[in-house]
């Protein structure tokens, strides 16, 4: 009979293949990321809790905030009868709710000893994933922007009127079968983890990864993703003995990579000048100004507990088709969940950032901190609140591994 630790080990191997598993799932049973990985994780957490017992289990205070987010959302669901009761009831919602999943996940991470063999396997899978991501993005630029993309991405692009606009279409690489924003929330954390791991452990293959990895956010056309890519370079500066030398090396590497990218784009007759003028230099400030305008207008009506909804009829009417939502994640959260709900969620996010930052300072591993910074940065211009996502889950695992190594090293010194 397998030990629970062996099952958790296999779970993380399967998690590393998320983009490909979600593709197969979409083409077959079509259950989605949360049912596949979330419900499975919940069962593992339950089995682990039964095996270890409450007294021998470790419970971090961060669990209370994760659970608090779930309960706050559940109360609004029941009050408005908008989601939970329309689905299959409380039990079903419990098993598929990402806030329950992240609570269970943190419990599993805190009570699982991460073997080094798992970390070595995962980093190899990640390198393969990055290479495949880059190749698919290249095909989406050259051949078809919707190559390896689900039908929903095509339908959304058509609705937004960007089907034939090379500068507006969102090329999602291999991540569209998870969700449409995972190309950032999943991909960039993985790049950051790989950069950090190989800088610390082997210092090889980094040059190639740094050069080719930028193609995916470039192809995606989200400017916040393109800027977010630079967060993945933090380890090279943070760990360098000479910050100036490291900055020069990074700059030269990026220029070399940019040169290769420009040669590639020129070879396929991509209009670089038009891209700079129509995409990079285009005015999207109006959407963000509209977000502040709508927030100022409607937040005061339900400041403490929010509206309980992402969009109300009044908000939709006021936006009048100028945007799809309040396009600043933090403002949208305050509108929906008020000061109380946002205080719980924002504190939860910052506690994760603090946890990962402490590990980075102690061990030199910045990959996990990069992952949560990508998430926090994304919400400046996007609306994405789910910590239970492929890239950030892996950040928790690597954070635990390096924290574990740090404490083992401290004990050996004693």
pTM of the full structure: 0.89
- Written as six digits, the tokens of 150 are 């689900």
Supply the DSSP string of 58-110, one letter for each residue. ---THHHHHHHHHHHHHHHHHHHTSSTTTTT-HHHHHHH-HHHHHHHHHHHHH
d(CA 411, CA 148): 49
Mean of all residue pLDDT scores within the chain: 84
Q: What is the pLDDT of residues 82-96, one digit of tens each?
A: 555 555 567 777 788
SS3 content of the chain, % helix, strand, coil (to 5): 70, 0, 30
- Judge whether 176 and 219 are in contact, CB under 8 Å: no
Residues 6+ apart with CB under 8 A from 189: 367, 370, 371, 374, 375, 391, 392, 394, 395
Which class for 53: exposed (0-12), middle (13-18), buried (19 or more C-beta within 10 A)?
exposed
- pLDDT > 50? residue 1: no
Q: What is the pLDDT of residues 133-171, one digit of tens each?
A: 999 999 998 888 889 888 888 777 776 666 656 667 778
- Judge whether 206 and 199 are in contact, CB under 8 Å: yes
- Judge whether 394 and 220 are in contact, CB under 8 Å: no
Phi-psi region of 389 (alpha: psi -120 to 50; beta: other; left: phi over 0): beta
Tell me what pLDDT residue 281 has.
46
């Amino acid at each position: 009979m397998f030990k629970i630790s062996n099952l958790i080990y296999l779970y993380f191997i399967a998690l590393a293949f998320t983009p490909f598993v979600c593709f197969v799932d979409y083409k077959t049973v079509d259950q989605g990321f949360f049912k596949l990985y979330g419900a499975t994780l919940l069962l593992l957490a339950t089995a682990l809790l039964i095996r270890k017992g409450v007294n021998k289990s470790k419970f971090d205070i961060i669990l209370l905030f994760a659970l608090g987010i779930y309960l706050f959302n559940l109360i609004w669901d029941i009050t408005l009868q908008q989601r939970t009761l329309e689905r299959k009831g409380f039990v079903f919602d419990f098993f598929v709710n990402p806030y329950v999943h992240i609570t269970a996940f943190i419990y599993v991470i805190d009570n699982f000893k991460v073997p080094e063999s798992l970390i070595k396997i995962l980093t190899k899978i990640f390198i393969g994933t990055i290479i495949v991501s880059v190749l698919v993005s290249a095909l989406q630029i050259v051949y078809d922007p919707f190559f390896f993309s689900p039908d929903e991405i095509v339908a959304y692009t058509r609705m937004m009127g960007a089907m034939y606009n090379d500068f507006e279409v969102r090329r999602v690489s291999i991540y569209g079968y998870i969700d449409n924003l995972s190309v950032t929330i999943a991909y960039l954390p993985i790049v950051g983890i790989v950069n950090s791991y190989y800088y610390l452990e082997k210092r090889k293959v980094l040059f190639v990864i740094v050069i080719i990895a930028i193609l995916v956010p470039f192809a995606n056309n989200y400017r916040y993703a393109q800027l977010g890519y630079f967060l993945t370079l933090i380890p090279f500066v943070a760990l360098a003995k000479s910050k100036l030398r490291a900055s020069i090396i990074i700059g030269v590497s990026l220029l070399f990579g940019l040169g290769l990218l420009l040669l590639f784009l020129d070879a396929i007759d991509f209009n670089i000048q038009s891209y700079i003028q129509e995409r990079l230099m285009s005015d999207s400030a109006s959407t963000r100004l509209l977000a502040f305008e709508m927030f100022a207008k409607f937040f005061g009506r339900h400041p403490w507990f929010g509206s309980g909804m992402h969009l109300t009829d009044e908000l939709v009417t006021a936006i009048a088709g100028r945007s799809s939502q309040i396009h600043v994640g933090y403002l949208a959260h305050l509108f929906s969940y008020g000061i109380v709900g946002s205080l719980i969620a924002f504190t939860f996010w910052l506690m994760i950032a603090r946890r990962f930052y402490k590990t980075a300072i102690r061990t030199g591993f910045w990959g996990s901190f990069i992952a949560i910074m990508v998430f926090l940065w994304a919400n400046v211009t996007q609306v994405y609140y789910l910590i239970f996502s492929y890239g950030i889950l892996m950040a928790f695992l690597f954070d635990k591994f390096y924290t574990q190594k740090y404490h083992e090293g401290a004990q050996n010194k004693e």
